[in-house]
Amino acid sequence: MKAKTRGKNLAKKGLFVWLFSTLTFISLVHLADAVSAFVFGNEINLLKLYPFINEKLQTITPMAYILATAILTLAFWGITCAVAFENPVETFLNKILSDAKKQGAVETQLLESKSELLDAMNETVEMNNAMLAQVKDIIYNIRTEVKEIQPLKENMEKTKLELSNLKKEIKKLEEKINFPIVCVNCGKPLLPEFKICPYCGESLKPIQEKIFAVKDCR
C-alpha cells in the first residue's frame, strides 16, 4: 500500500516537473524574443502566436515585455526546482526514521519500567537470601546447643538411674530395720513382736529365741 502511494507521488512529481519546465522554456524563448526586440529593434514575433489576444499583446513595449518574461521565467524555473528537488523517498525515509525513533523511545520506556521491576525483584531475592542466611544461622546454633545438651541429658538419665537404685537400697535397709525377722517358711519380713507368721502361719518362736540369744551375747 505504501509502495503504491509512493509510486503515485513520484508520477505526480514527474508531471509537475515536466509542466513547469515546459513553461520555463516557453518563458525563456519569449525572454529571448523580448531582448532581441529591445536590443536590436527587431519586430516582436512570438506574441503573434496567440490568436485571441495578439492585438493587445502587440501594444506592450519591449521593456515591459522583457520584465514580464524575465519574471515568468524565474517564477517557473523556481517552481520547477522546488518540485524537482523535493524528494519523496527522502521524506518517506525520514518519516520511517521518525517512527523508528518514537518506537525506540517507547521501547526504552518499557525497558526502564521492566528494569525497575527487575530491580525490585532482585531486592526481594536479596532480602529473602538474607533471611534464609539468618534462619540457617539460627538452625546451626540450635543444633550446636542440642549437641551440647545431649551429654547433659545422658548424665541426668544416669543420675536418675543411680537415684532409683539408691532408693531401692534405702528401702531395703528400711525394711531390714523395720522388719528384722524373716519367716523361714515364706521369706516375708516380719516384726520382732510377731510369734506366728501372718502370711503362712509358721511359728516364729525358734527365731525369736535365736535373736534374744544374740542380744544376750552382745
How far apart CA 182 and CA 194 sit, in angstroms, is 11
What does the pLDDT read at residue 3?
62
What does the pLDDT read at residue 6?
64
Q: Where does the pLDDT of residue 215 fall: very low under 50, low under 70, confident under 90, or very high at 90 and above?
A: very low
pTM: predicted TM-score of the whole model, two decimal places: 0.39
Look at 206 and 71; give whichever has higher pLDDT.
Answer: 71
For the chain, domain boundaries: 2-86, 112-177, 179-217
C-alpha dihedral, 201 to 202 to 207 to 209, nearest 10° = 80
**Sequence-distant (≥ 6) Cβ neighbours of residue 185 within 8 angstroms:** 197, 200, 202
How far apart CA 31 and CA 10 sit, in angstroms, is 31
C-alpha dihedral, 88 to 94 to 98 to 101, nearest 10° = 150
Task: Name the phi and psi angles at 174, rounded to 5.
Answer: -60, -40
C-alpha dihedral, 204 to 206 to 207 to 209, nearest 10° = 120
Look at 94 and 124; give whichever has higher pLDDT.
Answer: 124
